[in-house]
Each structure stands twice: as C-alpha cells, then as structure tokens.
Structure 1
C-alpha cells in the first residue's frame, strides 16, 4: 500500500518484471516527462495561491489553479504532475551515471551491467537489423505445442513473479497466472507462493465486460491491435486469429474477480495443497505446469483468486490448441514489443499509449531505455544513485521526522475513547515493531550470475526476467526478511508492506519538492510528512488493520472496536463515492478506501507532529495545508483518468487533496464557512485515527 505520487503510463507495463506497490509497473517515472514547472513552496515557506478562488469551494484549485491554467501535459505523457518534476530531474541524473559507468574501466561489475543493458536497448539500428529473429525460438516452441500437456508446460515456463496483491489491486499480468512470493498470511515465519488471476492484455476485466460504448470501442481497437502485431510477425489469417484470441480473453475476464473482491484479503486466504489443484481446478495438467514453473517441490500455495484459477484451468481444457497457440504467440510478441523493430514499438504504443490513455506521442528512446534498465537492474541503478546523490544527513533528518510522526500517531491511538485497552495495546505493538527503511536497503541485492550483453537487447530482457524469477523462487527456501525492500532507491514513491510490518522511503522521494533540507518544518511536514504519515497509517487502514505486529492475518480487535472502525471508515467510503469526475463515472469509495484512510490519518498525524516540533514557535497551518495541496498538483488526460478510476486503488489527485475537509485545523486556517462546497458539519467530518 503506497503513496503513489503519480501513475506511470500503461503503455510501458507489459515489459515490467514485477509490479510496484503503487499499483503500477515499476517504470520509475520516465513516462512523466516534466517541462518547467511553477515553483513549489520555497525554503522560506512562502507560496502564491490562487486567491481569486475560495479555499472552501475547491482547495485543489485554490492552491494549484495558476499551475493548472499554465501547464500542458507533454505530448508523450498521459498524466503529469508535481512528482514528474522530481522524476525528470532524477532520470537525467541517472542517465549521466549510466553513461559514465559504461566508459569507466574502474566501474563496478553492477555498474557495467547497467551500462551494457542501457546501451543494448539504445541500439535501435541493431534491433532493426535483427528483426523478429531474436524472438523466433520462443515462437517456434509455441508452434511446436501438440498436446494439452505441452500447453501446460509452456504456460508454466512463462510464469513471472510480477504481482503484489496487497499493494497492487490492478493485478495486471499478461501471464495466465500471476506469482507473488512473500510470507504467509497466517505464517509470518515462512515464505509461500501466491497464485493470482492473469492472462489479460487490457488493464482489467471491466474492459472486456462493461456494457458501454467507450469499452466496446476499446475492445474493437484491442482486437485490431492483436491482428496487427501478429501480421507484423508474419502470421497469416490474422483477423480470424485475433478474433479467437479476443474471445478467449473475454472468457478469461469472466472468471476474474472484480476489484473489490480482489482487494478483500479475507477472501484471498485460500490454502491449496499441490494435490488439490487437479480436483479444484481441472483442465490443466498441473504437474506439467508446476514443473516448468519450477514450483513442483512446493507443497502448498495461497490461491488469491480461486475462481480465476479454476476458470482459466477449465479454459485450458476446453479451448482448442490452435487458439491457445495464437494467444501465446500474440502475448509473447506483445510482451517483448519494446525490444523489437520500430514497427512493433509504434503499434504497441498506438494501443497502450494512444487508445488506452489518449497519449499522442511515444516517449523518446532514451527514456524507454532507462525505463527498461530500471526494471531489470533496479537495485544496481539505485546503488549508483544513492552513492552520488543521497547525503547521510538527509537520511538522519528524515528518520527524525519519521520518529516524530510515529510518536504522533501513537498519541492519537492513546486518545481514542472508543478503543478497548487490549486493542490499543496491539496497535501500539505494531508501531513499536514497525521496520522503517529510509533512503536505501540495509543490504544491496546481488546480480551475480546475470549475463548482460551490450548487443542483445531482447536477450537481456529475457535473462533479467528469469533472473528475477529465480531470486523470488529462492525465497521459498529462505527465512522471511522483514528488512527486504520492495522499491528501488531511485523511485519517487513510498510504501507500507503489512505482511512485513515495514515501510520504505526511497532516496529519490527525499528531495524537493517533497523533502527540502533547506526548507522550514512547515513545508516539510506538509509534504514529506504527509507522505510519511500516509505510509504509517496504512498499517491501520481497512487492509493493514487486519495484520498484527508480526504481519499475521488475524483478528486482534474487539468486536466493538471493529464495528466502530468499520462504521467510521464506511463514512469515508461514502464521502468519496459522492465525487464524480465524469458525468458517467464516479469514484468507487470502497475501492479507494485504503488509500483515502491513509491520506486522512497520515495528514492528521503529520500536522500533530509538526505542532510538537514547533516548541515555542507559532504554527503556520495555512502554509502547511498549502504545501500538502501543492504536492498533489497533477493533470491527466481523460482516458488516463478513467483508467485510474476503474482500476486503481488511489483516488485522482484533486480528491486526495479534498481530505482536508475532515480536519478542523483546515477550517480555521482558511475560514471555511457553511455553504462552501467542501464544508462539512462537524458531525460529518470523518475521524478514524
């Protein structure tokens, strides 16, 4: 469960090795190029808000109206905001580090890997000259499938560890199933293998099943995309093949759980033994599947989406081999499209960029190359970045802020008159055992054994994916490591991992505009403080509150406390469901509840910590809230925002800013009065923590 500063464009997701905890692929923001932005809060704490507007009517517009009016989304982006300014600068720094590493004879072995991977991806002429040939062995293996056992072997061999269901409720993976390796929901001492729904080329089941003109048009465009990619690869009769693949994916979508069900961890806690699959999910040769997936020695699995596992296995048994072979061929070409010739790249973008997100222009090659390098060698790139750009003094100051905000949250728990002493003690235990990673991991990952060639872009991607899968599978034989990071240090984001009871604050987010070592506490607590509070709060949102101090899924609440919590959080879900960004599309308050709870509680805790930090100084709550709203300045194309509302656990930026309407201090700071659009009567203001 993450803060999610901004969302990467969908067109880059299909090349990702795994999904980040912000609900999208780890693409490290190159999809958000930022032109010159208006200044954020300065070191002195002064800002210029749009004073011709009323804060109580639209606080997002009140603070960011000037920026919104003067800012255009770059042609190669589906969305752009404050996080992109920082990401663009970070990416520019990283590219220089990579280019230096490639020519430095004294560079470390990891730096060499990074340089070779990046430059192989940049070799457009070499990729063009090779054509489809690098993919021919995989396509030949698919064409050679002669039985359902062969099919099961191929499906198992294509499995990738690319989904984290607790932090990415999109569950997007093109593979028939998603794999996640983490500690057990009820066994924090051992890692286990989680199987999740997959197999779709569009973001969510709604894109296949929703009865609307917009979705019908996207389905037509997606089927045309399938045909176009197959035609580029030399297949014949592509229209008929595309129709069969589309029909199969619609059936797969029908077996999928919807978003709200997917986010319900209680419904996901399904333990299947190896022997159970044949009876519970007939149609698949599970021995063949798990053997090729290197999971045949795993005795038990947690099946997050039993309906999808059973439904997709049945489709393996019931659907003719020819359709499956076309399906696998298309998804193989689609998945590796970014390292194929230009025609494939442009066709891929025409659907995933333009059709899905309304993005008119493909990103420059260097940005896509950096994206792929970040995905394949995340910690190696992060290590380069930290060594050069993250001072120890920044880490110490942020760590102090974290401690202060944890203490503030602890005080808020102690002041809850509705919470029983036993429940309160359990909540405090979670705070005391919370692992906080600031800047970078305690131990850097090793890439020993990974081969990277300066002339083999597609092979590098394949080997990196396999290397990552091998690393994840190895965790099944190791002790649980609560200090393991799930985000690289150069990612502009932050995360809470309820199973590990831990948080990560990567180095890249710990710089202006979110954290400025030269700025006042007013600015920093309003920006990075709210982010820190957000992640702490995730330990106590509607999902995180189900896990105890050891990360075990269990009920540690009294019945009365749980009822109060559900009532209070339900009021926030109702509040957000009333927001309607489009005439025909409202925010799903239940789908976004975890993030909305964290926004509200995190902002309140950061405000408390800020007040304590002042000692005898005078608080500037007005500036604190302006800094918070500025951190959410963002613009998105309509298609991209629709996609976010349908598939993401985070509300659009404007409505995340609106959580201020639940805090009494905001009303006082801006003299918000009854009759103004954001005004809530005191009894209607939601407070959970």
Structure 2
C-alpha cells in the first residue's frame, strides 16, 4: 500500500494507543465473573508447518514458531510487508469488495441512499476512461485559487480550504477531548507540512536517505511539470528547502509522545499574538472552529518558527509549495501520469514496492475511507456473530480481573497508588465489534462521474463532523476505527478499549482452538490495550480521562526505572544493519506487549479454575499460550519499508514483539525450560516487570 491514502485524515483525533495501533464505573471484582473452565481437548490452533525445527524455542522463539514461514513466504509485489495482520486485512478487503461491487451493480439505486453512495463512489474510481479524459481538469479551480493569491494575508483561509479537502499544509488542526478537561471538546494544533515520512529524512546523511531526497526532488519536479510549471526543477529545489526549514523545527517523535509537553493551552487572542504574521482567528473561522474554548498547541516553538518561515519565504515559493501539496495528495485520483509518478516515489522509493495495488483494491480503500461505517454495518451483518461478541466480553472480564489482582501483587507500588490504579481500571469502558450508533452520511453527496469531487466532499464532510463537536457533550458512542479494521485501540481521554469485529478471527481469536492459544492471541491483545491505560503516557491520565498526576513520587520513580530498562533493551535491537530500534519511541507499545501478555497469562491460569490443562499435540497449556502470541506477529518487511517504520512507527517489528517480550517473563522460562546460556535468557536482575 502506498504511504499515503487518497483521503488524508489530518483532522482526525489521535488515538491514545493502538495495537499496530459514557464510561460507567464498574464494581471492583477479585474473582473472574465468568471463569472459563478447562474444556475437552480442542484443535491446537497453531500451524506447526510454520515451525522451524532447527531452531530451539529457548534461543529464538519467534523463529522457532515462524521460521519455516519466514523462509518460504514472499511479500506480494504490491505490498511493503506481509504477515498475519496483512492476511487478515486482505480478507477484510475482499469481504468489502463483495459488498461494494454488489452496490455498484445494483440497478435503479435511489439517489441519496447508502447503496447509491457506495456504488457510485466505487464506479467513479473505476471509470479510468473518464479519469484519463479529464486530466488535470478536476483541480483547475483549486490551482486557479492558488494562482490568484495576492499576498500572505490570504494564507489562513487558503490553508483552511485545503485542510477541508484533505490537502496538507504546514499546520493541522482537529477537535478532540481536552486532555485536562475530558468533559469538553477543544481544538488541537499540530505541526505538519512535510512530504517525506519524518524530519530525519531531511537530515540523515547515509546514502539511502540522500537517494530518497534526490528522488523526492524528481517527484516534485515531475508533478509540477505535469501541471505546467515554467521552471519545475527550480521550484522543486525551493520547495525542498522550505520543507527542510520546517523540518528543522519539527519536534521528533519521542518528544511528541510526551503528553505534558504537548499540552499548551492558548486562547485565540493569545495565538494571534503568538504568531503575529498568521491570523489564527481567521484560520479557525475558516475551519468552522469558532466555538472552541481555546487551542491546545502541541509544539509551540514550531508554530513560532512557522510564523518566521512564512514571513521570509517568497510568495511565489509558497504558491508552488501549495500547488505541489494539492497535486501530491490528490495524484492517486488523477490521470495515469500523476498516479504513476506518485506510486514511483511513495510506493517504490519509500517502501520498495514492485507494483501498484490492483485498481479494485485502491477503489475499495477510497470507499472505505469515505463511507467507513456504511460498509461497517454491512460487514458486521455478514461476518460477525453474536457468539464472538459474547466470548470477547467474557475474555475481557477475565483480563480485567487478572489485571486487578496483578496490581495487588506489585512489590514496587505503594498502597495509595494501587488504590488510584484500581479506580482507573474499574472505570474502563469496553467496546466490542461495532458501534451502538451508526454514523449518518445523509449530508454527503456522491456522483458516479466526479471522483475528485466525491473525495473532496467526503473529506469536507468528515472535517465538518469533527468541528461540529465543539460546544456539545462528549459522544461516548463514537468509534475512531471502523468494524472492518484489523486493529484495536485505547483512548486515554475516553478511558476505553475498543476491539473492531475484523480482528476477532484467527490467528487472534479462533472459536475452534484451544483456550490457551486464544488467551495468547486475542487475550494478549486485550491485555495490551488495557496496559496502554498504564503505560508511560496512558498512566498520566486518571479514570475520568483527565491528564493529572495520581502517582506518589517514589512510585513514579520506580515505574520510570523499570520502563527505562525496557527502553534500553529495545534500543539494543538491530533490525537493519546500522540501524537500531528507538526504545523510547516504541516504549508505550512495548509496555503494552509485555504487561498485556503477562496479564493474559494470569487470566488464562485463572480460567482453568485450578485444574491443569491437558496436553495437545505434545504441547502443554502454558506452551500453547506462548505459541498463540508468537504466531500473531509473523511478519516480513521490505528494507525500505522497515527503515521508514523504524523512524516513524511506535510499534516494534514483529520479531521483537515476540522475543523482546518473552525473555522478560518468568512464565516463559518455566514453560520451555530456558536456562542460562540460552539465546532467550536474561539474568533475573535484568528482566523487567511493569504491571
């Protein structure tokens, strides 16, 4: 998949944490509400053909479970990586294709109905003959608006207009809950404006990064040349220089994870004084955000620097920059020369793809991005059973009990902080499968002969929906992911964990498989999301979703000592020659994995009711639990894609989500007899237990 989707969701609220990626207080329980009793032997639920018998589980558990698959699997030509997650996403995508193509083939669809919108949007993307005949015409009015810009005073309105159609600008705003007053909505402002994946791409001097910058220059020049720019090469150099000046002031991704550092409240009047050359009051009005009680500025010094950059950059360069952003973001919807140029850079250069995704897949992606919950409702009706939801509810209950008991057993935490942690856990809200209230798309107009217009209107619909939250009560029924999304998330301001329907299938959840494997799979996922409420950032919010310090100083120090050890462990891993993981960037997800799997193991043992699980195909229950976790993370990456993920993704690669976790768990040592001298062995004093 290309690194950018045709729909750039820059206005969407950021998630507290996700797996890749009214809260009602519940009473405290100390025993499982519905214990999962030991059952008759069932299917193993793990494909042993993927095992590598030449690898000992005590040395490299990831390759022991997945080694044969790693040796024989091939990454499809149109993908940057491949593995369990991608296989499930392919399955979800194929299911959506059936739904979409049925809608597209239906005759006499009533205008304004969901089937009409789904079918016509897909047809507008698949009508390549019309797309080719139009060329650049769908963007003509936008290009003329840029050309008509007479001075920089018009930038706030132009930035806002582009944001409403999903085009990148040097800043991005969205509406979300106020982290320190979670009962109200507020605008947050974030740094933006870079066309390369991360600020490091502008400065690293290693050959591959220098090659990428050269390819980016060529890409900018190509798009501007196709649009009729008189000096595309000169314009490309000026644009790269502008973006480099922005990148110099961008906060890095580790600093951006700090929820206290990124909370900087300012009134609109204060903002206008803060950046005297850029009118925030006009920008917010143009965005439809006048009702905001203020703005949380996530990177204040960046915005001060942006004001200076805009002041010193010649107006012609700013117009060329905006022209490129327009072309770049909408190139996948335009004629073949634009589409191909975008793929060559964003697909081949950045991710190592060999060919573009089939058009039907990109069409499904466009429809899913614009009409996600329409598709989600139909997806759930066909592919999600009430039994799966009930089983998940039972698993979640048991994981919560296990986490509650685990808090009691923390030797490093004082009673006062334990009380606060338990109070937060008791207030967790849980959403499983699909929303209780489906989104209303009646205000969105879709035409089968206007692809670019459809995408612009869909983007504007979402921006308006987001901005319209201002001044209203918190919508606790809203979902940030669609049911067909293979992922899960925790929201710190909602204090909730959410599990879309599409992740509740093998290898994560298999109703035919042994309980141990399901606890190691979906149980680990549940534990991961619960643990995000108590990771290095999630632990800064209380049970009401408010950002506040509920720790004693001594407990916070003990917590940071443990999490620092975990960050150091992951920073020592080297997925690519000369490039180590950034343990501080991935810390929250690594805490989620380690603590989540720890609590899932505890819940599994509770589910047995004191009995011993029977052996299945020679594996004990404890061993099957870890096999279930390891098979979830089988993954192959192209080097270019892995390089990008290591700089931008808060998740560790799959290998380290297995090996980096199990070597810290005494339960794994007992299950597989790990001893000193084995590859997975860590001395007890170096093992980390957070929760």
Contact 1:205/1:258, CA 8 A, preserved across alignment: yes
Aligned partner of 1:212 in structure 2 is 206
Aligned partner of 1:89 in structure 2 is 91
Aligned partner of 1:604 in structure 2 is 598
Matched, 1:331 2:335: no
| Residues 1:205 and 1:286: Cα distance change in structure 2 (over 3 Å) | same
How far 1:617 moved relative to its partner?
3.8
Contact 1:19/1:26, CA 8 A, preserved across alignment: no
Distance in 2 (alpha carbons) for counterparts of 1:481 and 1:562 = 32
Distance in 2 (alpha carbons) for counterparts of 1:452 and 1:410 = 49
Give the alignment's Cα RMSD to 1 decimal. Answer: 2.2
Q: Which moved more, 1:542-551 or 1:200-209?
A: 200-209
| Residues 1:57 and 1:9: Cα distance change in structure 2 (over 3 Å) | farther
Distance in 1 (alpha carbons) for counterparts of 2:12 and 2:575 = 27
Distance in 2 (alpha carbons) for counterparts of 1:449 and 1:242 = 39
Contact 2:622/2:671, CA 8 A, preserved across alignment: yes
Distance in 2 (alpha carbons) for counterparts of 1:81 and 1:60 = 13
Distance in 2 (alpha carbons) for counterparts of 1:421 and 1:649 = 32
Contact 1:18/1:26, CA 8 A, preserved across alignment: no
Aligned partner of 1:33 in structure 2 is none
How far 1:233 moved relative to its partner?
1.6
Q: 1:454 aligns with which of 428, 448, 459?
A: 448
Matched, 1:64 2:66: yes
Aligned partner of 2:144 in structure 1 is 140
Distance in 2 (alpha carbons) for counterparts of 1:239 and 1:42 = 65
Distance in 2 (alpha carbons) for counterparts of 1:637 and 1:156 = 36
Contact 1:282/1:314, CA 8 A, preserved across alignment: no
Aligned partner of 2:673 in structure 1 is 671
How far 1:243 moved relative to its partner?
0.9
How far 1:106 moved relative to its partner?
7.6
Name structure 1 gaps, 5 residues minimum: 1-7, 29-40, 163-172
How far 1:42 moved relative to its partner?
8.7
Distance in 1 (alpha carbons) for counterparts of 2:353 and 2:336 = 18
Contact 1:23/1:649, CA 8 A, preserved across alignment: no
Distance in 1 (alpha carbons) for counterparts of 2:396 and 2:339 = 43
Aligned partner of 1:54 in structure 2 is 56
Aligned partner of 2:38 in structure 1 is none
How far 1:92 moved relative to its partner?
1.0
Aligned partner of 1:43 in structure 2 is 43
Distance in 2 (alpha carbons) for counterparts of 1:293 and 1:17 = 13
Aligned partner of 1:4 in structure 2 is none
How far 1:25 moved relative to its partner?
12
Matched, 1:156 2:194: no
Aligned partner of 2:37 in structure 1 is none
| Residues 1:526 and 1:585: Cα distance change in structure 2 (over 3 Å) | same
Aligned partner of 1:541 in structure 2 is 535
The SS at the match of 2:529 is helix
Q: 2:509 aligns with which of 515, 520, 533?
A: 515
How far 1:26 moved relative to its partner?
13
Contact 2:17/2:532, CA 8 A, preserved across alignment: no
More contact order relative to length (CA 8 Å, sep ≥ 6) = 2
How far 1:288 moved relative to its partner?
3.1
Matched, 1:400 2:394: yes
Q: Which moved more, 1:502-511 or 1:514-523?
A: 514-523
How far 1:387 moved relative to its partner?
1.3
Distance in 1 (alpha carbons) for counterparts of 2:474 and 2:13 = 19
Contact 2:400/2:425, CA 8 A, preserved across alignment: yes
TM, length-normalised to structure 2: 0.92
Aligned partner of 1:494 in structure 2 is 488
Distance in 2 (alpha carbons) for counterparts of 1:262 and 1:358 = 28
Q: How does 1:420-499 map to 2 (within 5 A)?
A: 420-499=414-493
Q: Which moved more, 1:395-404 or 1:575-584?
A: 575-584
Aligned partner of 2:655 in structure 1 is 654
Name structure 2 gaps, 5 residues minimum: 22-40, 614-619
The SS at the match of 1:595 is helix
The SS at the match of 1:567 is helix
Q: 2:170 aligns with which of 157, 173, 176?
A: 176
Aligned partner of 1:559 in structure 2 is 553
Distance in 2 (alpha carbons) for counterparts of 1:583 and 1:348 = 28
Aligned partner of 1:35 in structure 2 is none
| Residues 1:448 and 1:14: Cα distance change in structure 2 (over 3 Å) | closer
- Write the deviation string for residues 448-505 of structure 1: whole angstroms up to 9, x where unpaired: 2100111111000000000000000011121112332110000000000111101110
Aligned partner of 2:129 in structure 1 is 125
Q: How does 1:570-585 map to 2 (within 5 A)?
A: 570-585=564-579
Q: 1:10 aligns with which of 3, 7, 22?
A: 3
- Write the deviation string for residues 149-202 of structure 1: whole angstroms up to 9, x where unpaired: 12222112222598xxxxxxxxxx832212221111111110100000001111
The SS at the match of 1:437 is strand
Distance in 2 (alpha carbons) for counterparts of 1:9 and 1:573 = 30
Q: Which moved more, 1:291-300 or 1:365-374?
A: 291-300
Distance in 1 (alpha carbons) for counterparts of 2:394 and 2:114 = 32
Distance in 1 (alpha carbons) for counterparts of 2:15 and 2:187 = 21
How far 1:124 moved relative to its partner?
1.1
Q: How does 1:254-273 map to 2 (within 5 A)?
A: 254-273=248-267
Distance in 2 (alpha carbons) for counterparts of 1:485 and 1:127 = 34
Matched, 1:686 2:688: yes
The number of residue pairs the alignment matches comes to 660
Contact 2:172/2:191, CA 8 A, preserved across alignment: yes
